Copies of this chain bind each other. A is one copy, B any other.
Amino acid sequence: MPELVPATPQLLRRVSAGAVLEFLRASAAVTVTDVMAATGLTRATTIAVCEDLVRRGWVLERENQREFGGYQKGRPARRFELNERAGVVLGMDIGYSKVTVVVSDLRGRTLGRSSRPFQAGEVGSRERIAFIDGVAGAALSSAGMEPGQVLAVCAGVAAPVDRHGDVVATQEFWGLFDLGLRPALKETRGWTVLLENDANLAALGDRWQGAAAGIDDVVVILASERLGSGIVEGGRLVHGTRGSAGELAYLDLVEGVGDTYGIAHLARTWAADALATTAPTTLRSVQGRVEAEQVFTAAEQGDAVALGILDRLADRMARVVGTVATLLNPELVVIGGGVADSAGVLLRPISERLKEFTATPARVAVSPLGDSIVTVGAVRCALDYVERNSLDLELAAPATPA
């Protein structure tokens, strides 16, 4: 933020450089003339800024300029482009049972990833941090990147995180998530770690590459095992004072909902309930516990019991969506998480049911990001940080003449 910088002439260069960099992030290799048109700066200033950015490592100047663009008259234009390999960011999903780390370049392209389940013994903070560090190292190796190139890390956890990135342990349980990951990775790796709630990251992720692309007012409901939501309003995450905005515990009081179990959990439970009766259903043929997937598959094939479960799920989800959407008035409500792949069939019945609860029903969608919605959001969150702070960050290898 340039707010804290004093109003010296250098501030001007900062503002100009920020504008140029922002344009370059949204463009491929461009000419100075392009940059001038986008920023309103003069040619002299634009060139000075671009060369400044090249010197600092954020921008590359292309050789063989004539290769680009069809226009061939006049003196060949120099071409500048964002150095998308100036550094990388890490997006982490720290779940109950496993850790996933994604390595991304500055344009958000995935360069590598690694995912490992926690071992039984790894319960202490120390062990968990070491484990996470290990997965991060593996992900970096798979991308062929060095730890020194990491510009920012964002980690998603299933606990409330306030807007300063601190885990708020409102209940003892959440304390488990306050691993001290930030100071630890700062110390050993020199990395800046941003913590964020997993549902919030899901919202950022889906808004970036999912169903809510470009939408500024959206609620994303993670709905697999437990219901939780991330709220984006006016393009910004809504955290609340202690980071627990988006929590859906109030559903205990909503008729027809009554708890915060998610779709996968309920599908399993209700299927088991049905099997305890004499109702005829193809689900009886399943070996072992009936999983949510199988309920959805059976429903597609017309199984009455499965269809009944879908019906109840749709009714429930419509109530959940209806309450959240009424209070927050998003443009879109997205259902995401591991169950999203199969939840597509719920979309129409939910929308239908929704009309009964509210006069102006919200649009509902299922996220195409599936299980990776949290890591995608974590990458976005880390990139947001880097983009906000580019001009204050030092790059590992600025302007190394090859």
Give, as a whole number of angstroms, the nearest-CB distance from A265 to chain B. 20
Contact residue among B163, B171, B246, B330 (Cβ-Cβ distance under 8 Å from A234)? B163
> Which one of A10-18, A86-94, A303-311, A375-383 is at the interface?
A10-18
> Which one of A77-85, A237-245, A284-292 is at the interface?
A237-245
Task: Count copies of this chain in the complex.
Answer: 2
Kindly state whether residue A324 has any CB partner on chain B within 8 Å: yes
Contact residue among B246, B247, B254, B326 (Cβ-Cβ distance under 8 Å from A255)? B254
A11 touches B15 (CB 8 A): yes
**CB-defined interface of A1-14 with B at 8 Å, one 1/0 digit per residue?**
00000111101110
Kindly state whether residue A233 has any CB partner on chain B within 8 Å: yes
Q: Say whether, besides A7-B19, A16-B7, A234-B163, A330 and B241 are in contact (CB < 8 Å).
A: yes
A160 / chain B contacts, CB cutoff of 8 Å? 329
Chain B residue nearest to A248 in the complex (CB): B327
Kindly state whether residue A360 has any CB partner on chain B within 8 Å: yes
A residues contacting the other copy or chain, number (CB 8 A): 54
Kindly state whether residue A31 has any CB partner on chain B within 8 Å: no
Q: How far is the CA of A233 from the CA of B240 in the complex (A)?
A: 6
**CB-defined interface of A342-360 with B at 8 Å, one 1/0 digit per residue?**
0000000000000001111
A207 / chain B contacts, CB cutoff of 8 Å? none
Q: How far is the CA of A360 from the CA of B247 in the complex (A)?
A: 12
A11 / chain B contacts, CB cutoff of 8 Å? 12, 15
Give, as a whole number of angstroms, the nearest-CB distance from A200 to chain B. 12
A6 / chain B contacts, CB cutoff of 8 Å? 39-41
B250 touches A326 (CB 8 A): yes
Give, as a whole number of angstroms, the nearest-CB distance from A6 to chain B. 5
Kindly state whether residue A217 has any CB partner on chain B within 8 Å: yes
Q: How far is the CA of A8 from the CA of B12 in the complex (A)?
A: 7
Give, as a whole number of angstroms, the nearest-CB distance from A243 to chain B. 7
A16 / chain B contacts, CB cutoff of 8 Å? 7
Kindly state whether residue A319 has any CB partner on chain B within 8 Å: yes
Give, as a whole number of angstroms, the nearest-CB distance from A360 to chain B. 5
A183 / chain B contacts, CB cutoff of 8 Å? none
Q: How far is the CA of A324 from the CA of B245 in the complex (A)?
A: 10
Q: Say whether, besides A253-B322, A254-B254, A243 and B163 are in contact (CB < 8 Å).
A: no
B217 touches A241 (CB 8 A): yes
Kindly state whether residue A323 has any CB partner on chain B within 8 Å: yes
Q: How far is the CA of A359 from the CA of B169 in the complex (A)?
A: 13
Q: How far is the CA of A324 from the CA of B331 in the complex (A)?
A: 19
Kindly state whether residue A328 has any CB partner on chain B within 8 Å: yes
A360 / chain B contacts, CB cutoff of 8 Å? 170-171, 242, 244
Given contacts A242-B360, A253-B254, A253-B323, 6 further A-B contacts (CB under 8 A): A240-B328, A240-B329, A240-B330, A242-B329, A250-B326, A253-B319
Residues of A within 8 A of B (CB): 6-9, 11-13, 15-16, 19, 39-41, 160, 163, 170-171, 216-217, 233-234, 236, 238-250, 252-256, 319, 322-324, 326-331, 357-360
| A-B interface, 8 closest residue pairs, ranked by CB to CB distance from nearest | A240-B329, A250-B326, A250-B323, A241-B331, A7-B15, A245-B329, A217-B241, A244-B329
